[in-house]
């Protein structure tokens, strides 16, 4: 079976372009996930891996959709190969492990070199983004303009943000763990903790009245 895996880092990003390319390639089953690529403890990715068997093919649009940590990428790639699952990276045709099944030496060597280079680039890009964010915040603070990230999940939110906020509140009220809510909604644990704290503060204020 040909599996497609589409990933973006946050719940507000769009998966449509990746999904379209995976469909056009002929993927029979496409798994969609909105989660950080820093490691492979992603619930949707792990669900997909549990379904994959010898002879299956995993297709991703580019290596950064697979992951953004060099060691994690290399380790997971090796596990897939050891399980005799092929991997195709659409925007880098040389990274198609099916091409090297009958080749000894040079073909696999080229693939290994390119994979190592691209996984390093994916990790460096992630580091660059984090550094740029920190530098931007530092500059804004010196100018007195930094007020933290704009909140999108709150009781006065609109549309899908309001739906997600209400689901977080409902889940907290039935004592679901922050980790489970994070996995279910894709909202960061810090944001969920803030919402939890607000609910607790409102409850305390009400009791004092």
Q: Is 116 a catalytic residue?
A: no
Helices (H), the chain: 16-25, 43-51, 63-66, 70-82, 106-142, 159-173, 178-185, 189-208
User: Which among 9, 111, 119, 171 is annotated as catalytic?
Assistant: 9
E strands of 19-93, at which residues?
29-34, 57-60, 86-89
Whole-number Å distance between alpha carbons of 29 and 20: 13
In sequence order, what are the beta bridge partners of 4?
30, 59
26 Cβ contact partners less than 8 Å away, ≥ 6 residues apart = 2
Number of H helices, E strands in the chain: 8, 4
CA-only gyration radius of the chain, Å: 21
Could you tell me where the beta strands, DSSP code E, fall in 52-163?
57-60, 86-89
Active site residues: 9
């Amino acid at each position: 079976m040909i599996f497609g895996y589409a990933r973006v880092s946050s719940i507000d990003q769009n998966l449509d372009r990746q999904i379209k390319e995976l469909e056009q390639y002929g993927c029979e089953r496409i798994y969609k996930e909105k989660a950080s690529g820093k490691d492979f403890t992603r619930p949707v990715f792990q669900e997909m891996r549990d379904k994959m068997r010898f002879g299956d093919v995993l297709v991703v649009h580019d290596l950064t959709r697979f992951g953004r940590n060099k060691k994690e990428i290399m380790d997971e790639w090796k596990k897939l190969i050891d399980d005799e699952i092929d991997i195709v990276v659409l925007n880098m045709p040389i990274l198609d492990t099916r091409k090297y099944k009958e080749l000894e030496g040079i073909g696999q060597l080229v693939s290994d070199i390119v994979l190592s280079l691209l996984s390093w680039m994916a990790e460096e890009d992630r580091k660059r983004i984090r550094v740029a964010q920190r530098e931007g915040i530092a500059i804004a603070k010196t100018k007195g303009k930094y007020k933290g990230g704009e909140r999108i999940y709150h009781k006065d939110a609109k549309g899908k943000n309001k739906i997600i906020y209400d689901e977080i509140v409902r889940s907290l009220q039935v004592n679901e763990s922050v980790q489970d809510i994070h996995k279910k909604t894709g909202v960061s644990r810090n944001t969920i903790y803030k919402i939890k704290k607000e609910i607790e503060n409102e409850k305390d204020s009400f009791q004092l009245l």
